Amino acid sequence: MISAAATGYGTSLALILAIGAQNAFVLRQGLMRSHVLAVVLVCAISDALLIAAGVAGFAAVTAAWPALPRIMALGGAAFLLVYGFLRLRAAWRGGEALVAGGERQSLRSAVLTCLAFTWANPHVYLDTLGLIGAVSTAFGGPAKLAFGIGAVAASFSFFFALGYGARLLAPLMRRPGAWRVLDTAIGLTMWAIAASLVF
């Protein structure tokens, strides 16, 4: 049970660590200290719903189509290779920096923007329904539930840490050099995950 939960936590955290539009939005809201609780709850609860759907329903789908996990793994690997390349290219070019200034959004606007970043992102479905769902098929019964709980816990802990920890990163993340290091780490991590999916 503990091993299954740890696998769920690690899998979910590895997938969610990539700085995409959603995470950058949460980071900015945290830096501005604007509607942080609402934003992190929208992200974490949305992830929890998608993870639960992936863990609960993926086995039924794969029973009908046994080749699906391999196809999704290869598709996921292709996406991760491209995403990793884009992050490494961004690190090579440099010039990115986080600007925490600007006018604050209303609560309604912040929540709607966050929902759009979450539910309109096709990659969230690949991560939660596809990749996490596929990994969950290695477990059965209570261990599968533990895997799902671990995956959801990773989402909650990540978004709360990102939203409320952002203020600690404000001085650092205003420097373009910090983004180069972060993008390099993300790119190499994405390539490592892609390799593990293929092999």
With 0.75 as the threshold, say if the pTM is over it.
no
Mean pLDDT of the chain: 82
Q: How confident is the model at residue 97 (pLDDT cuts 50, 70, 90)?
A: low
Q: What is the pLDDT of residue 59?
A: 61
Domains in the chain: boundaries: 2-65+97-174
**Ramachandran quadrant class, 65 (left: phi over 0; alpha: psi -120 to 50; beta: rest):** beta
Q: What percent of the chain has pLDDT over 90?
A: 21
Q: 18-72: per-residue pLDDT in tens?
A: 666 688 788 878 877 889 999 999 999 999 999 998 888 766 777 788 887 778 7
Q: Residue 110: is its pLDDT beyond 50?
A: yes
Q: How many CB atoms lie within 10 A of CB 126?
A: 18
Q: Residue 151: is its pLDDT beyond 90?
A: yes
In this structure, are residues 183 and 91 in contact, taking their beta carbons and an 8 Å threshold?
A: yes
